[in-house]
Amino acid sequence: MGGTVSRITSQEGFFALWKGVNAAWLREASYTSLRLGLYEPVKVLFGANDPETTTFFKKFAAGSAAGALGSIAGNPFDVLKTKMMAEAGRETPSISKTAKDLMSKQGIGGFYRGIDSNIARAMVLNGTKMACYDQAKGYVVAATGLPKSHFLTQFLSAVAAGFFMTCTVSPFDMVRTRLMNQPSDAKIYNNAVDCMVKIAKNEGPLTFWRGFIPIWSRFAPTTTIQLVIFEQLRTMMGMKSI
């Protein structure tokens, strides 16, 4: 990891570490803003007005629905981000150039490559993330007596959410990355289900969790920072905690 960082910074400059960050911003501004921001409104829509009586299932359903909507909006930026990060060289690839290239080579379909598995993944990811976060907060509050708006409550709940999220998302992550990046001239998998079946059949079901630790190492900081900042911003704006 340290070697890779020094190699990138020495060969391409310090800011190469933020290569493709504009696509990542666009992705987050579309995908994550919807999947996090819509959670509360969707939960209310599902009749989960009282946090004390709301079931885990309803929380999961609200998170899943928000995740699906976010995924539809964010898929093109997800594809662009992956392509831009993979570009080599000192010059940071432009998002418009990458988009034009993709459009000319694959058409609009290129931006929605792997959309089926992406939606499925987003539903599971966000359902687990928000439901576990919401549920864990209740447990932390009950165990520690701290309020929901307390930083420690939010931090511990976010850490728990990150762990459970990794458990449920790992299989979808593998399917998604394989589908999104398979070559157009040598189709290996027809769709998400076909991909899952082929992986399970050819490589064994445990293959789905092969990347657990690396995925967790990415999810844990992201989920924790994201949820804590989200909650702090909500508090600053005078909103109640999730």
Partner 1 sequence: MATAAAAAVAAPSLMTQVGMAGSAAVITVSFIHPIDVVKVSNFLTRRQSDGSELMASEWRLYDGWCLFMIPYSATGNACRPMLCISNFKMMFFSRHILNLLPSHHLNQQKHQ
Of 25 and 144, nearer to partner 1 (C-beta) is 25
In whole angstroms, give the CA distance from residue 14 to residue 92.
Answer: 12
| Binders of partner 1 in range 168-197 (CB under 8 A) | 173-174, 177-178, 180-183, 185-186
Instruction: Find the part of the chain contacting partner 1 (CB under 8 A) among 93-101, 115-123, 149-157, 213-221.
Output: 213-221
Residue from 10, 56, 88, 197 touching partner 1 (CB under 8 A): that is 88
Instruction: Find the part of the chain contacting partner 1 (CB under 8 A) among 7-15, 50-58, 100-108, 150-158.
Output: 7-15
Supply the DSSP string of the chain, one letter for each residue: -HHHHHHHHHHH-GGGGGTTHHHHHHHIIIIIHHHHHTHHHHHHHTT---TTT--HHHHHHHHHHHHHHHHHHHHHHHHHHHHHHH--SSSPPPHHHHHHHHHHHH-GGGGGTTHHHHHHHHHHHHHHHHHHHHHHHHHHHHHH---TTSHHHHHHHHHHHHHHHHHHHHHHHHHHHHHHTS-TTS---SSHHHHHHHHHHHH-GGGGGTTHHHHHHHHHHHHHHHHHHHHHHHHHTTPPP-
Residue from 28, 101, 116, 194 touching partner 1 (CB under 8 A): that is 28
Closest CB 36 distance from partner 1, rounded Å: 4
Torsion of CA 159, 160, 163, 166, to 10 degrees: -100
Of 8 and 146, nearer to partner 1 (C-beta) is 8
Does residue 101 touch partner 1 according to CB under 8 A?
no
Of 160 and 175, nearer to partner 1 (C-beta) is 175
In whole angstroms, give the CA distance from residue 34 to residue 93.
Answer: 27
Of 88 and 152, nearer to partner 1 (C-beta) is 88
Of 28 and 116, nearer to partner 1 (C-beta) is 28
Does residue 85 touch partner 1 according to CB under 8 A?
yes
Does residue 167 touch partner 1 according to CB under 8 A?
no
Q: Which residues sit at the interface with partner 1, rule CB under 8 A?
A: 1, 4-5, 7-8, 11, 16-21, 24-25, 27-29, 31-38, 40-41, 82, 85-88, 173-174, 177-178, 180-183, 185-186, 210-215, 218, 221-222, 225-227, 229-230, 233-234, 237-240
